[in-house]
Every structure is written in structure tokens, then in C-alpha cells.
Structure 1
Amino acid sequence: MQLLGQHHVSIMTGQAEKNFDFFTRVLGMRLVKKSVNQDNTTSYHLFYGDAVANPGTEVTYFDYPGIGPSYPGVSSISSTSLRVPTTASLKFWAERLDALGIHHAGLSARAGRDVLAFEDFEGTQLVLVADNGEAGVAPGEPWAAADIPLEHAIVGLGPVTLTVADPKPTALVLTQLMGFRRIGAYPSPAGDFAEIEVFATGEGGSGAEVHLEARPDLPKFRLGRGGVHHVAFRIPNEEEYAKWIDRLAASGLPNSGRVDRDYFRALYFREPNGILFELSTDTPGFDIDEPIESLGEKLGLPSFLEPRRAEIEAKLRPLAL
């Protein structure tokens, strides 16, 4: 019973159209599902991923027009990484971002890997990380965007960074409950603070890592546009999912219990510093209601919302993508 790595990361946006433009045209990712927030069906939920919507490649956005800004701080998922094939890819992306007028921090290294940090138009902290043939969780399949060579395309999620006031209780949940293992640490970019600890699960590699940063000097994070709502980790199938439900129940941590999202089964809980974690199955996938070839082209609704399609569509604002 082992988590395989990152499944998806979900973030807030106040401008879904501009968000779509950024992720599909600037970053060259594929819109693999256009759906609704199942807990608030008046809000869109957009999923960006690789060419075939593989688990472990999706960045998702909840659309809330007019939402206020996020305020950085502790109890947050402070950065999200996206995998690219090589260091040469990072050089391509640095030149591309420069040409588009998007500020970036230049090539640097984190946890022994070459990286390129930047942010989107709403302040989401993003990091491109080079695989460079590293062993571990396999990358996804690159999507053929018009002006991005396949050899430099984004191929999945890399490490997420958790920023907390006290790392010890979070580390215990990662290792004792979730089965992660501590594999090292690296200096914090913030300077005179503790090292950032690196935890891995499954086969390891950048697609299966959590980086844990202690910043007791910071205020508490406030979620708004550009802020990360939660991170989800991969469960291979529904048989394993049932075991994780039992494991969470036995741990004593409050949790959601079984949640059926149709495209995957989910289980939610907050670790001791208040960050929302989700455990999600790889199955059945995003192609249960539309073929791979036309993913994201229509409004996808889970089967339990399909009878309400007319009502839901009537209440959604027009979305021109």
C-alpha cells in the first residue's frame, strides 16, 4: 500500500479565460477537462495536463471571478513544480518567458536538480524542473503545442513545497501515515532558515516528492487568487483506495471519507499545520465521458450531475476559451 506520487494540484483563479491562455498558449499544456466545481456548480473547474490526461500531470483551477489576492505565509503549498525533459529545456523556457515579458529567477538548483522559478499573472509560484534522465516516476506524454518543441514540453508535476511554522508534525504525517521517506535536504532560498527537507514516495524522482520548508517568521497564509487550494497524491486503484480509507479512519485524523468524483475517487484530510491533502485514484480517468482526442472540448459533468446539466449550464457564466 504505497502512494505513487503527485496526482494533481488545485489552485484558485479570478480570470479563467486569461488562465486558459497562460496554461495552453504560454506553457503549452492541454486542457484535458472543462468541468464544474462539484461542491459549487456555479464555478468552473479547469484541468490542464499532458497529451492523454495521465494522473500526475494535472494542474487544476477553480474559477472565482473577483476573488481577492492570496497572502503568502505558513500553512501553505507555496510552490508547484512542472517537469521538463532537460536543462536545455530550461534554457528554452527562460528565452521564451523573456520574449513574452514574463519575469523569472534564472536557472538555479534545488535538491540537486536544475530549475527555473517564475510566477503567473496571479502570483502562483511555479518552478520548471529538469528531469535529465533521472530515475523515478515516469513523465507524462508531451502535448504538441504550436510553438513549443516536443523535446522541451512540460511532461508532468514535479515537487510541491509545503511552507509551515513547525515542520515536525507535518513530517510525522508524511512518514508515519502516508509512507513517505526523508531522502535529504537543501538550503532554503530565504537565507538564514532551516534547510528544506525532501520526502519521497513510490519510485521517487521529481514526480513523487514533497519539499518541507520551515518559516516560523512568516504570518499565516490567506487563500485567494493564485493560491494553491490543495495537493493530491496518487493511489493506483480502488482496491488500494479502500485500504487508505481504513488507514485514515484508524489514524484519528478527521477526514472526508469516501468521495466519488466520477473521474477518480478522492479522500481529503488536513495535516497538523492545516494544509489540505487529497488522496486520489488513478482510475477510471478523464476519458470516461469523452474520447481522448476531444478532451476538454465540451462541458464535462460527472454522471451524478448529468441529470442537472440544463440547470447547471443556465447558471454558469459564459466562458470564451
Structure 2
Amino acid sequence: MIKGIHHISAFTKSATANHHFYTEILGLRFVKNTVNQQDTKIRHLFYGDYQGNPGTLLTFFEYKNIGHAYNKNNYFSTVFLNVPKGSLAYWESRLNDYSIVTEYNSCKQTLAFEDDDSLPLAFIETDETILPENATRHSDIPVAYQIIGLAEASLRVEEPEKTLNFLTNFLGLTRTKAIGQVADPATHFLTTVKPSCSTAVTRMGRGTIDHIAYSVDSSEALETLHQKAEESQLDIELYVERGYFKSLYIKEPNHLRIEIATEGPGFTLDEPVEELGKSFSLPPFLENKRAEIEAQLEDF
């Protein structure tokens, strides 16, 4: 039922710096400039491939006064991004040119680094290449090296087995041969669950991942999971229409937020694909509040 990852959402202190990092340095497309629908004073930025496909999306909520994060117990850790085979050397050189510290792991064949908010990121090579229709056009990054999409999310939790049981029994993900790891059979997106290194309380801040969102192909599939969650007496936070997709938010057993989102209707709901990210967008049910919402937001 789960069709891989949909998006991963984190906090940023500066929309301007965040936009520069992900569009200019990493070469992702800015696919949607909108707001946090629960608090419309907060800007919400979406980045992905040219078409804004689920599985490529990193999103950020801007909190200008947010402090540093302290990841201690029960938190989302590194986000891995797929890049074509043979491109790590290119990315190491490019990131170093921007004075970004990198760490190459020869055993795992990964290149680790952080964004401006200290969000841990890593590139990992895949045999895939980005499809021509998904390659971004604004960047100087050659298509042969462009980011293809999300590869893996890492969780650190107090009781890993409870989270793994949630991921397998509720979401239907499959355990791999690696300890503490599950995969989506359709797209092979990996979720790795490891023990926390501390029992101290995590403090969310800049670079904190708020949630990871898995994907389903229809509202009917989402409703089936909603009913299953109710029957299983899971901690349901929200079941809501987002306009661009419909979402179910659940707290997994270690209290991390997991979203399940529909693949459609997608970001072309209010903008043609050629114009994605060029204007300030609101889903239809917020359009009547546009003037009020825009007045609350600073330009970036």
C-alpha cells in the first residue's frame, strides 16, 4: 500500500539562506512557496525535481527566531539523497567550493555534509539516472550528476523494536538484511531505526526534522490506513485535506511524527509545471484569506 517516501519536512531559521542552499548549491527546484496550514504566519518551502514528484521533496518551515537543536533521545537523523553512480567526486568538489565541510565514507560509499541549519544530509550513489523530464533546468549542475530523490531516512529512538513493528505491521514496509532497517518494496526507499545515544530530552530547533511522510496513491488507500489506525488505537494527530495532497498524521510508538500523504493532485493544482515556485501559492480553501496571510509574511 505504501509507495515509498513522499517528503521530509524540517525547520529552518532563514528562508533566504535555505532557498540559496537547496536551489543554487544542491540544484533542486523550488516547487512551492506556501504556508504552514496550521499556522499561516509560518512560510513553508518545498524543493524537489523539476516536476515536484513525491519521493524527491524536501520541505521547510521557516521560524526566524528558532534556536539550535539538541538531538538526544527520539529524533530523526540523517537524510540520504540518491545521486547517479560516479558522481560523489563531483559533489565533494562542488560542496568544498562553497566551503561546505564533507565527510566521505569509503565503506558505505556516502558523502556526508550539513545544510545551513545543521540538518545532516548525505549523498549515496545509485545505478539510476534522473529522467530527462525530471531534471532541473535552472542549475549549472549537469544532468549526469543531479539529485534523483530521497534514498533513506534515519531515526534514533529509545525503543527501536516498537518503531520497527509500527513500520512493518502498520505501514507494511519490509525488513531488510540490515539490522534495524526496513524498505518499501516498490521504490526501495530505506528507513533505518537505531537506538538513541542518550536518554536526555531532545530539543527541537533549526535543522530538526519535524516529520517524514510516506506516500499512497489515492484517498481511498489513505482512508483504509486511517480506519486501520483507529482500529489499532494508534495516536492519530490529524487527518486533513492539504489541497496538494491529503494527509494522515500519526505518532509512532516513540512519539515521532509520521505522515502518510496521497500522491495527488500534486503541485500543479494551482500552477502549471513550468511556473512552479514562481508565485506565492495557497490551496483553494485558503484563497479567501490571501491578503491577510500575505500581510503576515516577510519577503525573502
Q: Which runs of 4+ in 1 moved over 6 A?
A: none
Structure 1 position 139, deviation (Å): 11
Structure 1 position 257, deviation (Å): 4.6
Map 1:127-146 → 2, pairs under 5 A: 127-133=122-128, 141-146=134-139
Map 1:1-321 → 2, pairs under 5 A: 2-86=1-85, 88-110=86-108, 114-133=109-128, 141-185=134-178, 197-205=180-188, 208-217=189-198, 219-319=200-300
**RMSD of aligned C-alpha atoms?**
1.7
Structure 1 position 216, deviation (Å): 4.4
Provide the secondary structure at the position in 2 that maps to 1:255: strand
Structure 1 position 183, deviation (Å): 0.6
Q: State the TM-score, normalizing by the size of structure 1.
A: 0.89
Mapped to 2, the partners of 1:229 and 1:257 lie a distance apart of: 14
Mapped to 1, the partners of 2:2 and 2:132 lie a distance apart of: 16
Tell me which amino acid in the other structure corresponds to 1:215: S
Provide the secondary structure at the position in 2 that maps to 1:143: coil
Tell me which amino acid in the other structure corresponds to 2:53: N
Provide the secondary structure at the position in 2 that maps to 1:78: strand
Does the Cα contact within 8 Å between 1:54 and 1:140 map onto a contact in 2?
Answer: no
Does the Cα contact within 8 Å between 2:174 and 2:185 map onto a contact in 1?
Answer: no
Gaps of 5+ in 1: 186-195
Structure 1 position 316, deviation (Å): 1.1
Does the Cα contact within 8 Å between 1:57 and 1:140 map onto a contact in 2?
Answer: no
Deviation string, structure 1 residues 90-111 (Cα, Å, up to 9, x no partner): 111011111111001114344x
Distance 1:109 1:246, change over 3 A: farther
Structure 1 position 142, deviation (Å): 2.2
Mapped to 2, the partners of 1:249 and 1:278 lie a distance apart of: 15
Tell me which amino acid in the other structure corresponds to 2:276: L
Distance 1:309 1:94, change over 3 A: same
Mapped to 2, the partners of 1:97 and 1:146 lie a distance apart of: 14
Deviation string, structure 1 residues 77-128 (Cα, Å, up to 9, x no partner): 1111111111x11111011111111001114344xxx211111121100011
Provide the secondary structure at the position in 1 that maps to 2:236: coil
Mapped to 1, the partners of 2:199 and 2:153 lie a distance apart of: 19
Tell me which amino acid in the other structure corresponds to 2:224: K
Mapped to 1, the partners of 2:122 and 2:249 lie a distance apart of: 25
Q: How many residues align?
A: 299
Gaps of 5+ in 2: none
Mapped to 2, the partners of 1:170 and 1:99 lie a distance apart of: 39
Does the Cα contact within 8 Å between 1:90 and 1:107 map onto a contact in 2?
Answer: no
